[in-house]
Amino acid sequence: MEQLGFAGMPTRLFSCTPSKLAAFAECPRRYRMTYVDRPQPPRGAPWAHNALGATVHNVLRAWWLLPREKRTPEASRKLLNDAWISDGYRDAEQQAAAKERAVGWLEDYLRTVDPDAEPFGLERTVAMRTERLAVSGRIDRLDDRNGEPVVVDYKTGRGALSEDDAAGSQALALYALAAAKTLRRPCRRVELHHLSAGEVYSHVHTPERLERHLRRAEQTAADAVEAESKLSAGAPVDEAFPPDPGPKCGWCDFRRHCPEGQAAAPPKDPWAALPS
C-alpha cells in the first residue's frame, strides 16, 4: 500500500495491527519470521494457555449472542464445552482441571455483567489511517456506556496486571483511536477484564496520551519499513532484523530457528503457562 509523500516520492503506508507493531518492538527477528518470510518458518507446538484464552474469548462472544433470557452465568458451562480448544494440553486430566477453572472464572465474571447492556460490538473490527499507518484490529468487546464507546479487552493469563497495564497498552490506545474514528464519537476509556484474577483495570486516556501512543506506533512502523528496505537493498538478514534474545525466548514460536534465543532461555512445556 503506498501514498504519495510531500516531495512527490512514494511513501509507504504501513499496514498493521497492534500485534504486528508489538512483534517488531519486541524482537525484529521474530517479526521477520512472522510477517516477512514466505513461506513462514514452521512454528513450535501450540500453547495450552493460548487455547484456553481463545476458548474463553469464544465463550464470551457466544454468551452475548444468546437470546437475552438465556444470558445467565450458568450458561457459560455449555458454551465452554461447545467452544473447547484442546491444543497444547498435557493430557485429558489437565484439560478437565482447566475446564473447571475456566467455568469458575466465567460464572464469577458474568455475575458482574449486566446482560441488558448490549455492547456496540463483539470482536468488532476497527480501523484508522495516519500519514504513515493503516492500523486495524479486532476489539474483544466495545461497550456502550451512555453512548460513549469503551474498549474492553479480556485477559486470562496468570501474570498480575494493574491499571498501569491498561494505561500503557499501545494496543488498547490504538483500539480507542480506531474505535473513535470508526464510530465517529469520542472513545477514551480502555479496560482490561482479567478473568483469571477476577479484576477489571481501567484507564481514561487524555488526547495527549493517545497522541503519544500513536507517535510511538508510527516510529515502530517507520523502523519496520526501514528494516524491510535494508533487506531489499541486500543487507544481511540479521543486520536488518536482529534478534533480541531474553527470557521471553522460552515462549517464542520460532525459538527452534534461533540459536541466540535457544541460548537465552530454556524451552517451555506447551502447558507451562496455564494459570494454576
**Would you tell me which residues interact with ligand SF4 (CB under 6 A)?**
27, 29-30, 243-245, 248-249, 252, 254-255, 258, 260-261
CB of 266 to ligand SF4, least distance (A): 12
Q: Which is nearer to ligand SF4, 22 or 113 (CB)?
A: 22
Residue nearest to ligand SF4 (CB): 261
Report the run of H or E that residue 270 belongs to, with start and end.
Answer: none
Nearer to ligand SF4, 43 or 181 (CB): 43
CB of 253 to ligand SF4, least distance (A): 8
Minimum distance between the CB of residue 274 and ligand SF4, rounded to whole angstroms? Answer: 21
- What is the rounded radius of gyration, in angstroms, for the C-alpha atoms of the chain? 20
Closer by beta carbon to ligand SF4, 67 or else 247: 247
Q: How far is the CB of 31 from ligand SF4 (least distance, A)?
A: 9
Residue bearing cell 455475575: 111
Say if CB 113 and CB 201 are below 8 A apart: no
59: how many CB neighbours lie within 10 A of its CB? Answer: 25
Cβ proximity to ligand SF4, 122 vs 252, nearer residue: 252
Which residue, 23 or 171, is less far from ligand SF4 as judged by CB?
23
Closest CA to 153 of 126, 190, 185, 120: 190
**Distance from the first to the final alpha carbon of the chain:** 45
> 118 with 130: CB under 8 angstroms?
no
- Cα distances from 153 to residues 223, 229, 242, in angstroms, run 27, 34, 31
CA distance to 26, 203, 224, per residue, from 232 (Å): 22, 41, 12
Q: Which is nearer to ligand SF4, 149 or 243 (CB)?
A: 243
Q: How far apart are CA 245 and CA 253, in angstroms?
A: 13
- Report, in Å, the least distance between residue 118 CB and ligand SF4: 40
Minimum distance between the CB of residue 276 and ligand SF4, rounded to whole angstroms? 25
